[in-house]
Amino acid sequence: RIHEAADFAGMNKAGRLAAQILDDIAEHVTVGQRTAEIDRLITKMVEGAGATSATIGYKGYQHASCISVNHVVCHGIPGDKKLKDGDILNIDVTVIVDGWYGDTSRMYVAGKLGRKAERLLQVTHDSLMLGIEAARPGNTFGDIGAAIQTYVEEQGMSVVRDFCGHGLGRVFHAPPNVLHYGRPGTGPTLEEGMFFTIEPMVNLGRPDTKVLADDWTAVTRDKSLSAQFEHSIGITAQGAEVFTLSPGGRFHPTWG
């Protein structure tokens, strides 16, 4: 789907709200906090803004956020387990504002961030930004995947292959699948007016994942730590516009 100039305003509004919620939730990510409580606060923020959660009711999912702790790769379900010192967690929020979808996630730490975990967060965030730099008209989706994969593997880490980014706009998920690995020059060509997410998941160990019996929670098979960052972007003549940058100017208030 190719969007018009006016559609960028709608995506900016939805993206900014999702990013603001991720800014505002940071102070509640503390040792001893339950992820169900974090999700309850996010639900209140979405409603308080007069927006709608895209994930409540989506494919039977019943929460306003996915919260994925330590070796959970993605789709972690908010629950009553309390956060421990050193836990790293991805909080993923998708909101709908005037019909437009804003989908973003970032990493937080409860208590003190370990050195290996800090390197994982840094590499994962940098890989997203390298993917966004490759997102310009005339490049291909393979250029985005190659930029991410090459950098991550040079750092001795691995890119999850089992989940990908996606087109979005007035719908949550649309083609194309946005792979976080690939070969330069392959795949569809990027065009002005394309809206999609880039949401790389990076593991300290092997790329392999499995889904738990709850049919949602994806974990690393080798139990190594995993991190993810996600932005919703739009392709412009100059390159890419990021709809979900933190309004507070800091992508990761707790860490970077």
Ligand X SMILES: CCc1ccsc1-c1ccc(O)c(O)c1
Binding-site ranges for ligand X (CB under 6 A): 55, 58-59, 61, 66, 75, 92, 103, 166, 199, 230
Instruction: Identify the residue among 103, 126, 143, 241 touching Mn ion (CB under 5 A).
Output: 103
Choose among Mn ion, ligand X, none what residue 58 binds, the Cβ cut-off being 5 to 8 Å by kind.
ligand X
Does 224 bind Mn ion (CB under 5 A)? Our answer is no
Write the interaction track for Mn ion spanning residues 180-199; mark x where CB under 5 A is met and - where it is not: -----------------x--
Q: How far is the CB of 156 from Mn ion (least distance, A)?
A: 26
Q: Kindly tell me which of 139 and 217 has the beta carbon lying closer to ligand X.
A: 217
> Between 71 and 166, whose beta carbon lies closer to Mn ion?
166
Please say which residue, 113 or 244, places its beta carbon nearer to ligand X. 244
Tell me how far apart the alpha carbons of residues 134 and 191 are, in angstroms, rounded to a whole number: 13
Q: How far is the CB of 94 from Mn ion (least distance, A)?
A: 5
| 59 binds, options Mn ion, ligand X, none, Cβ within 5 to 8 A by partner type | ligand X
The DSSP annotation for 119-179 comes to: HHHHHHHHHHHHHHHT-STT-BHHHHHHHHHHHHHHTT-EE--S--EEE-SSSS-EEEEE-
Please, is 103 exposed, middle or buried when counting C-beta atoms within 10 Å of its C-beta (0-12, 13-18, 19+)? buried
Indicate whether 92 belongs to the interface with Mn ion (CB under 5 A).
yes
Q: Rule CB under 5 A: is residue 143 a binding residue for Mn ion?
A: no
Judged by beta carbon, residue 39 or residue 143, the one nearer ligand X is 39
- Residue 230 CB, shortest distance to Mn ion, in Å, is 5
Site string for Mn ion, 156-175 (x = CB under 5 A): --------------------
Looking at residue 161, its amino acid is R
Closest residue by Cα to residue 220 from 71, 20, 41, 12: 71
Query: Taking CB positions, which residue lies at the least distance from Mn ion?
Result: 92
Tell how far CA 140 is from the center of its chain.
Answer: 21
**129 vs 230: CA distance, rounded Å:** 10
Question: Least separation, in Å, of the C-beta of 2 and ligand X?
Answer: 20
Report the residue number, 54 or 83, with the smaller CB distance to ligand X. Answer: 54
Of 144, 151, 210, 204, the closest CA to residue 180 belongs to 144
Residue 224: which of ligand X, Mn ion, none does it interact with, CB under 5 to 8 A by kind? Answer: none
For residue 16 the two structure tokens come to 């900014």
By the 8 A CB rule, do 90 and 105 touch?
Answer: yes
**Backbone dihedral angles phi then psi of residue 227, each to the nearest 5 degrees:** -135, 160
Identify the H or E element spanning 248. Answer: none
The site for Mn ion (CB under 5 A) is made up of 92, 103, 105, 197, 230
